[in-house]
Amino acid sequence: MAQPMIEFRHVKKDFNGQTTIKDLNFTIDQGELFVLVGTSGSGKTTTLKMINQLFVQTDGDILFAGKRIKDYDLRTLRLDIGYVLQQIALFPTMTVRQNIGVILEMKKVPRKEINRRVDDLLEQVDLDPEKYRDRYPRELSGGEQQRIGIVRAMAAKPPVILFDEPFSALDPIVRTQLQDLVVELHQKVKSTIVFVTHDMDEALKLGDRIGIMSHGDLLQVDTPEEIAQHPANEFVEDFFASTVGKNIYETPVDKIMRTGFSVSAPEQIDSPVQVRSNDVLEDVFSKLSNTPIVEVLDAKGQQHVGWIDRKAIISYLSETKH
């Protein structure tokens, strides 16, 4: 069973006498990619910034690896938490190598090891070290700068990395590329990632679990599949539907199969639950509540077409506009 890396216990935050965060209680497991999503003013960025104590909670406790954050030395805490911002915030007078290595230098890592790690990280994000290590931020595109921002946050191998709406200012193609990169890097390094976004599409694509916030309240914490299938209330249902389309439940399963979101056949399954290619998502989700995967038959229910599960449907919804 996964161990909690971050835990919020009755956390409250006031600004100038106004309550922004009311009573926050949730955990983020070690190695999890956890996404906080909500509209502007929902409290998601405030919640993120309390983890590294850029904002200090008014009341309640936040635990980091089982220890209260207020009991840590602040500098030590922040050196153990990577941070990627929307503004990127690379140091303009430092080269790429110096930007990536800045935390390593603060941690007294030997110069030779810093250089080795910088080159390794550049290769991991498809930037040729020979070409990029001695460049300055002004010589990079926005997408390249954000790649540097990501690997700078990873360089010291922190147990937790925070992403504060890092891709919202980028064009859709670069944004998709960087989303894929985050997923790939997370699978490699297994750090705990807390990712803030206002975009439900992005949340669905990235999150192992998603926390949906509104007006300082955490309305639901669950997997993308469970949020799609069992929204906690009308706000969550509307927020989900407004992103992926109002008529998603009327989408025929055949449309999903044709766009390549089917899954491989299971190794062994007796008497599989079956749907027809013209069945709509509402019916498919209903059947997936009792089985992890269903067999898709043609519209007449005679010929095998393929297999589909909740994850494939969520992937389709998060990457396809309706």
Across the range 90-105, mean pLDDT stands at: 94
Across the range 144-162, mean pLDDT stands at: 93
Instruction: State the DSSP string of 198-265.
Output: S-HHHHHHH-SEEEEEETTEEEEEE-HHHHHHS-SSHHHHHHHHHHH-TTGGG-BHHHHHHTT--BPP
Across the range 44-72, mean pLDDT stands at: 96
| Topology adopted by domain 248-319 | CBS-domain (3.10.580)
Which residues lie closer than 8 Å to 259 by C-beta, 6 or more apart?
Answer: 316, 320
What are the residue boundaries of the structural domains of the chain, listed by start? 4-245, 248-319
Q: From CA 161, how far away is CA 83, in angstroms rounded?
A: 6
pLDDT digits (tens, 9 = 90+) for 278-300: 888 778 877 887 788 999 998 88
The DSSP call for residue 53 is T
pLDDT digits (tens, 9 = 90+) for 110-134: 999 999 999 999 999 999 999 999 9
Q: Which long-range contacts (CB under 8 A, 24 or more apart) does 305-308 make?
A: 305/254, 305/257, 305/277, 306/257, 306/262, 306/263, 307/262, 307/263, 307/264, 307/265, 307/266, 308/253, 308/256, 308/257, 308/261, 308/262, 308/263, 308/275, 308/284
Q: From CA 62, how far away is CA 60, in angstroms rounded?
A: 7
pLDDT digits (tens, 9 = 90+) for 20-56: 999 999 999 999 999 999 988 999 999 999 999 999 9
Across the range 60-70, mean pLDDT stands at: 95
**The pLDDT of residue 197:** 94
**The pLDDT of residue 163:** 95
Beta carbons of 226 and 280 less than 8 angstroms apart: no
Q: From CA 297, how far away is CA 244, in angstroms rounded?
A: 25
Task: Output the six-digit token pair for 60.
Answer: 């309640």
Task: Output the six-digit token pair for 256.
Answer: 């999903």
pLDDT above 80: residue 4: yes
pLDDT above 90: residue 316: no
Q: From CA 50, how far away is CA 321, in angstroms rounded?
A: 34
| Topology adopted by domain 4-245 | Rossmann fold (3.40.50)
**The pLDDT of residue 317:** 74
**The pLDDT of residue 1:** 62
Q: From CA 34, how far away is CA 52, in angstroms rounded?
A: 16
Across the range 225-232, mean pLDDT stands at: 84
**The pLDDT of residue 47:** 97
Q: Please, what is the average pLDDT of the chain?
A: 88
Nearest residue to 3 (alpha-carbon basis) of 185, 156, 159: 159
pLDDT above 70: residue 321: no
The pTM score is: 0.80
